[in-house]
Amino acid sequence: MLQLFINGLVLGSILALAAIGLSMTYSILNFANFAHGDFLALGAYLTFVFSAILGVHFIPASAIAVVITAFIAVCCDYAIWKPMREKSAGSLTLIIISIGLALFLRNLIIFLWGPDIKHYDLPVKRGIELGSVVITQNQISVIMVAVICMFLVHYLLKRTTIGKAMRALSDNIDLAKASGIDVDWVIRYTWAIGMALAAVGGILYGLITNINPNMGWFMLLPMFAAVILGGIGSPYGAMVGGVVIGLAQELSTAILPTEYKQAVAFFILIVVLFIRPRGILGS
Amino acid sequence: MIEIGIEIEYLPYIITVLLIASIYAIFSLGLNLEWGFTGLVNFGHVAFLAIGAYTTVLLNLSGVPLILSVIAGVALAGLCGGLLGIPTLKLREDYLAIVTIGFAEIIRFFLLNEEWLTRGPMGVRVSSRPFEELIPGDYNFFLFPFVLGVLVICYLLLEKLVKSPWGRVLKSIREDEDVPASLGKNVFSYKIQALVLGSMIAGLAGSLLAFYLQYINPRNFMPIETFYAWIAVVLGGSGNNRGTILGAFILWAFFSGTRFAQGYLPFSPTQMGALRILFIGLLLILIMMFKPEGLLGKKEELTLTK
């Protein structure tokens, strides 16, 4: 049971990171981005390309991958999302476009790097035994990186100008515009930061599980559950939601077959939508 | 004479492609009713394809006559659509999208894991097909006109429905829910009806798909199937049944055409497969950005830009 708790915490940390970006874009851009998962995959694959194929050390490879992913996200804003904002596209149009983007990115990954499962070229390390539970060094790394990133996000949101602007936009976009904030710049930052976090999440997921083209799609439902549970637009809510969903999924395997883990996220999602649609920390 | 010989050689292949396109056209017509006419974002349409297929095949395997198995498949698909709709159709439209995608995946997990019922990943062989004993030679030469007939009947029935007062209420719900609600229409009830009927049509398509494939397993019902229907509907023109059918046929012409190109391009079959879907994703983005009314849709009927 404790083992499941630890596994849940690890998965939850990854979900938490990934969900922050999803929550921010959901609230500021007002649509559910179904391509979010594929940015996770992009981060993982780019890291794989730089580290396993090009021989760069893992950590700088990850950093490069995160930067490239953030850059691609900003390009998407220029090419797709901004023009649609100018046309006042409704959220349904954007959702359908995001599905197209998801299909495009996922199959670009398959086209370039194949559908088979991959792993980072890292030495296998022995796990640490604490009584009845085993925790691997990778799991510890995941939790540490996730916590550091969450602190960075907290610092960004509370102490920097751009963070305050992001919070303002998330709260009320018209008031933010009226107070002189350059909405387009803030949106670009939101994409960059949100997708950078997603990329980190993907890299971490690849670290403890594996790298495959569907890894992001597979996490999409739990991520949406985390976002809605935490409250759309609240990064802190996304963090809490992510951890809760991760714990729930792993702990559920004590009583349910492991294949139904996603059903747990789905169930929580439904319950939240009916009892408290604005989530734990939503406005 | 030689040309006729070559054409006859290709004929079974062409029949097969037209057959699959027709099945997907029926599948997509169901989605068009839900999205094109009523404005419901259903990303889980494949779930009902699966329910129709599995119900028909499993019942028939247990000895239930084929026609009853098909009816049961259609009915169960519709029932599940209703059950899904009751708690979820009151949700905001984007929540519906998330929930329906989750629902379809859960159905797929169910099919994969409940091996006692569905044989899990091993799949089920189709034991009998309509009039199979009576057809000499290639069964597809019969199945294609059969499916085409079903398609035509579905199309005519749907056209009658959407042009009726019932259809007009659906369209008004799509445009702005508050208007029919303020006129006293039970919007929720109409949405459920659209979802149930759309799911029944998907269930019927599922049975026909099972007849074509002769062997079904959960891999036939991945989320991508829903998005094939979406591209057919969006490409043809949301809310236009002829457009949807056209979209389905163009989609399958594209799939089979690229299969021929395979030999000329330096890509592996996996890469070609990925390239196909990549292109569909791109097409979806481009259509929604630049020509959201699709090929046959009407710009005035568009409410996607609010």
Residue A209, domain member (yes or no): yes
Q: What pLDDT, on the 0 to 100 scale, is given for residue B301?
A: 64
- For the stretch B36-50, pLDDT in tens is 999 999 999 999 999
pLDDT for the residue B5 = 53
**Cross-chain residue pair A259–B113, CB shorter than 8 Å:** yes
In percent, how much of chain A has pLDDT > 90? 49
pLDDT digits 0-9 by tens, B280-291: 999 999 999 999
Q: What is the pLDDT of residue A273?
A: 86
Structural domain contains residue A280:
no
> Which of B99, B109, B305 comes nearest A259 by C-beta?
B109
Is there a contact between B270 and A114 if contact means CB atoms under 8 Å apart? yes
**Averaged pLDDT of chain A:** 89
Mean of per-residue pLDDT scores for chain B:
89
Contact criterion met (CB < 8 Å) for B274 and A31: no
Average pLDDT value for residue range A149-177? 86
Residue B3 has pLDDT above 70, yes or no: no
| Residue B293 structure tokens | 């009314």
> Which tens digits make up the pLDDT trace of B153-186?
999 999 999 999 999 999 998 888 888 888 888 9
Which residues of chain B lie closer than 8 angstroms to A217, CB-CB?
223
* CATH code for the domain of A189: 1.10.3470
Mean pLDDT in residue range B246-268: 86
- The DSSP annotation for B193-217 comes to HHHHHHHHHHHHHHHHHHHHHSEE-
pLDDT in tens, A178-212: 888 888 889 999 999 999 999 999 999 998 889 99
Q: What share of chain B has pLDDT > 70, as a percent?
A: 95
On the CB side of A25, CA atoms within 13 Å amount to 33
How high is the pLDDT of residue A197?
94
User: How would residue A283 be classed by pLDDT, with cut points 50, 70 and 90?
Assistant: low
* Backbone angle region of B204, left / alpha / beta, with phi > 0 → left and psi within -120 to 50 → alpha: alpha
Residue A282 lies in a domain: no
Confidence of residue A89 (pLDDT cuts 50, 70, 90): confident
Give the integer Cα–Cα distance in Å for A44 and A216.
Answer: 10
State the count of interchain CB pairs (< 8 A) between A and B.
130
pLDDT of residue B4: 53
Q: State what percent of residues in chain B have pLDDT above 90.
A: 59
Reported confidence tier of residue B100, pLDDT bands at 50, 70, 90:
very high
Tokens of B8: 């006859």
Residue (of A48, A90, A12) closest to A213 by Cα position = A48
Residue B27 near residue B155, CB atoms below 8 Å: no
What percentage of residues in chain A have a pLDDT greater than 70? 100
Contact between chains at A92 and B94 (C-beta distance less than 8 A): yes
Report angle CA B73, A99, B200 to the nearest 5 degrees. 15
Residue B60 has pLDDT above 50, yes or no: yes
Is the residue at A260 inside a domain? yes
- Residue from B78, B36, B237, B245 nearest B156 by CA: B245
Does residue B1 carry a pLDDT above 50? no
The most confident of A175-189, B81-95, B110-124, B189-203, by mean pLDDT: B189-203
For residue A134, give the 3-state DSSP assignment.
strand
Q: What is the DSSP letter of A115?
A: S
Question: In this structure, what token pair is assigned to residue B39?
Answer: 């404005």
On the question of pLDDT at A17 being above 90, the answer is: yes
Render pLDDT for A100-127 as a digit per residue (tens, 0 to 9): 999 999 999 999 998 988 888 787 777 7
A contact test, residue of B289, B291, B302 with most A CBs within 10 A: B289
A14 touches A82 (CB < 8 A)? no
For residue A115, being part of any structural domain is answered with yes
Q: Which two tokens stand for residue B270?
A: 């996996």
| Domain coverage including residue A262 | 2-275
Contacts of A259 in chain B (CB under 8 A): 109, 112-113
Q: Is residue B158 within 8 Å of B241, Cβ to Cβ?
A: yes
Q: Which two tokens stand for residue B70?
A: 């098909």
pLDDT at B112 over 80: yes
Q: A268 and A229 in contact (C-beta within 8 Å)? A: yes
Residue A187 lies in a domain: yes
In a domain, A283, yes or no: no
Q: Is the pLDDT of residue B306 over 70?
A: no
For the stretch B195-254, pLDDT in tens is 999 999 999 999 999 999 999 999 999 999 999 999 999 999 988 999 999 999 999 999
- A157 domain-assigned: yes
pLDDT band of residue B305 (cuts 50, 70, 90) is very low
A107–B227 CB contact, under 8 Å: no
Helix residue spans in A114-234 (DSSP H): 137-159, 161-171, 173-178, 183-208, 215-230
Alpha-carbon span B167 to A171, nearest angstrom: 39
Nearest by CB: A262 against B105, B283, B292: B105
Q: Name the most confidently modeled range: A48-52, A271-275, B20-24, B139-143.
A: B20-24
Q: How many domains, in total, are found in chain A?
A: 1
Say whether pLDDT at B90 is over 80.
yes
